Amino acid sequence: MTKTLEGKVALVTGGARGIGAGIALRLAQDGADVALTYRQSAEQAATVVKEIQSLGRRALAVQADSADPAAIQGAVDRTAIVLGRLDILVNNAAVFLVGAVDELGADEVEQTIAVNVRGSYVAARAAARHLGEGGRIISIGSNVGERAVFPGLALYSMSKTALAGLTRGLARELGPRGITVNLVNPGPTDTDSNPADGPNAATIAGFTALGRYARPADIAATVAHLAAPEAGYVTGAVVNVDGGFTS
């Protein structure tokens, strides 16, 4: 089988678990060497690194809090130095703080914006210095950025909606350099933080057209396509991988 990402280097922020880990492993399966960031999950990050290495690819785990601009800048630069280049950035790291608007105060707003919005911008800005022709920036948004079906999602939805503006703006700015920028909006996905057998899972799954949760691999497949050379004419796009949640 042809490795569509052979010779490429990718960085996945928040790649130690959940959707991020699924993306990191899929990019490695497609031939890329992969770096990932983590904040606290050192053991989980080490496990993902070993899995990537078992596929015959180089791997690197970097501890970096996406709320810290210097840490994210450093993670991007370290990836390019240690692995020799950078071709693909996946902005996946995020926090999920929910609650009524009169319950979430300045601290929660600051953390959400710092990680979900500013962290993605800082990572993209740092990566753009390393990316060449054929470079890719892919951010992971959320279906609730387009359709918030439960109360308490205003802050999180706002932060994920901001990624659509970031994606479109960067696509225009970086397009002349041959770099594409796209956004993937997952729907409900079976992870430790949102298990498909959780207490509200049946209700959440019922909002999808398919009546089920996604697997991290479902999201990763779309990211891998956008990262591949064959998607070189797709930029500024928002792709919903949500089982019809927003249909």
Positions marked catalytic: 156
Distance CA 221, CA 27 (A): 9
**What's the token pair of residue 97?**
């703080």
Other CB atoms within 10 A of residue 69 CB? 17
How would you class 247 by CB atoms within 10 Å of its CB: exposed for 0-12, middle for 13-18, buried for 19 or more?
Answer: exposed
Is 188 in contact with 205 (CB distance < 8 Å)? yes
**Closest by CA position to 185, among listed 135, 228, 142, 127:** 142
Name residues whose C-beta falls within 8 Å of residue 228's C-beta, 6 or more positions apart in sequence: 4, 5, 30
Break the chain down into helix, strand, coil percent, rounded to 5. Answer: 45, 15, 40
Is 147 in contact with 246 (CB distance < 8 Å)? yes
